[in-house]
A and B are shown apart, each in its own frame.
Chain A
Amino acid sequence: MYKVPLKDGVLDMENGTFIQIKNLKKYFIEEPDLLMKLVAKKKKRVVKAVDDISLDINKGETLGLVGESGCGKTTLGRTIVRLYEPTEGKIIFKGEDITEARGEKLKEYRKKAQIIFQNPYSSLNPRKTVRQILSVPLIASGVKDPHEREERIMYLLNRVGLNYRQMDSYPHEFSGGQRQRIGIARALAMSPEFIVADEPVSALDVSIQAQIINLLEELKEELNLTYLFIAHDLSVVYHVSDRVAVMYLGKIVEMGKTEDIFFNPLHPYTKALLSAIPSIDKSKRRERIILEGTVPSPVNPPKGCRFSTRCFVKKGKMCEEEEPELKEVEKGHFVACHLY
Chain B
Amino acid sequence: MTIKNGIVPAKYYEVSYKKSNLITNLLSLLGKIKKHPTALIGMLTIIAYILMAVFAPFISPYSVKYSDLSARLLPPVWSGGTWAHPLGTDQVGRDLLTQIIYGSRISILVGFLTVLISASIGTFLGAIAGYYRGTVDTVISRFADFLLSFPFLIFAVGVMAVLGPGFWNLILALTFKSWVEFFRLVRGEVLEEKNKEYVEAAQALGRSNGAIIVSEILPNIFQSIFVLATLRMGYMIIMEASLSYLGLGVPPDIPTWGSLINSGRNHIFDAYWISTLPGIALVILVLSINLFGEGLRDILDPRLKVEGSE
Contacts and interface: CB of A to CB of B under 8 A. Distances in A.
Chains A and B share a contact (CB less than 8 Å): yes
Interface of A: 33-34, 78, 81, 83, 106-107, 110, 114-115, 117-119, 121-129, 136-137, 140, 157-158, 161-166, 168-173, 176, 178, 183, 186, 190, 203, 210-211, 214-215, 218
Interface string B180-212: 000000000000000011101111111100000
19 contacts: A122-B198, A124-B201, A125-B198, A125-B219, A127-B222, A136-B202, A140-B205, A158-B10, A161-B10, A161-B13, A165-B14, A166-B13, A169-B15, A169-B20, A178-B13, A190-B205, A210-B6, A214-B6, A215-B6
B198 A123 contact: yes
Contacts of B15: 163, 165-166, 169, 173
Contacts of B207: 136, 140
Contact of B204 (A33, A81, A173): A81
Contacts of A169: 15, 18, 20
A194 to B, nearest CB: 12
Contacts of B203: 83
Interface in B8-37: 8-11, 13-15, 17-20
3 smallest CB-CB distances across A and B, nearest first, come from: A123-B197, A127-B219, A163-B13
Nearest to B141: A33
A110 B208 CA distance: 13
Contact count band on B: 20 to 34
B7 interface: yes
A115 B204 contact: yes
Contacts of B14: 163, 165
A133 B202 CA distance: 9
Contacts of A124: 198, 201
Which of B5, B10, B19, B216: most chain A Cβ within 10 A? B10
B7 A121 contact: no
B204 A128 contact: no
Contacts of B266: none
B220 interface: yes
Given A123-B200, A158-B10, A203-B309, 8 more contacts: A122-B196, A123-B196, A123-B197, A123-B201, A168-B17, A173-B15, A186-B205, A214-B7
Given A122-B198, A124-B198, A125-B216, A110 B206 contact: yes
Given A110-B205, A123-B201, A215 B7 contact: yes
Contacts of A215: 6-7
B308 interface: yes
Contacts of B6: 210-211, 214-215
A158 B15 CA distance: 14
Contact of B307 (A158, A164, A172, A190): A172
Contact of A114 (B204, B219, B306): B204
B197 A214 contact: no
B309 A121 contact: yes
B79 interface: no
A211 B7 contact: yes
Contacts of A168: 17-20
A176 B205 contact: no
B82 interface: no
A176 B309 contact: yes
Contacts of B11: 163
B20 A129 contact: yes
Interface in B128-177: 138
Contacts of B5: 214, 218
Interface of B: 5-11, 13-15, 17-20, 138, 196-198, 200-207, 216, 219-220, 222, 306-309
A169 B14 CA distance: 12
A158 B8 CA distance: 10
B55 to A, nearest CB: 36
A305 to B, nearest CB: 33
A114 B196 CA distance: 17
B201 A126 contact: no
A204 B5 CA distance: 18
Given A123-B198, A127-B220, A33 B138 contact: yes
Contacts of A114: 204-205
Nearest to B304: A126
B219 A128 contact: yes
Contacts of B9: 161
A63 to B, nearest CB: 19
B154 to A, nearest CB: 28
A122 B308 CA distance: 9
A106 B203 CA distance: 12
A294 B93 CA distance: 85
A223 B90 CA distance: 83
Nearest to B307: A172
Contacts of A171: 306
Given A128-B219, A129-B20, A210-B6, A117 B197 contact: yes
B220 A126 contact: yes
A122 B19 CA distance: 23
A87 B278 CA distance: 65
A51 to B, nearest CB: 22
B189 to A, nearest CB: 13
Nearest to B19: A168
Contact of B197 (A110, A122, A137, A176): A122
Contacts of B220: 125-127
Contacts of A110: 204-206
A136 B205 CA distance: 8
Nearest to B12: A163
A244 to B, nearest CB: 24
A140 B10 contact: no
B211 to A, nearest CB: 9
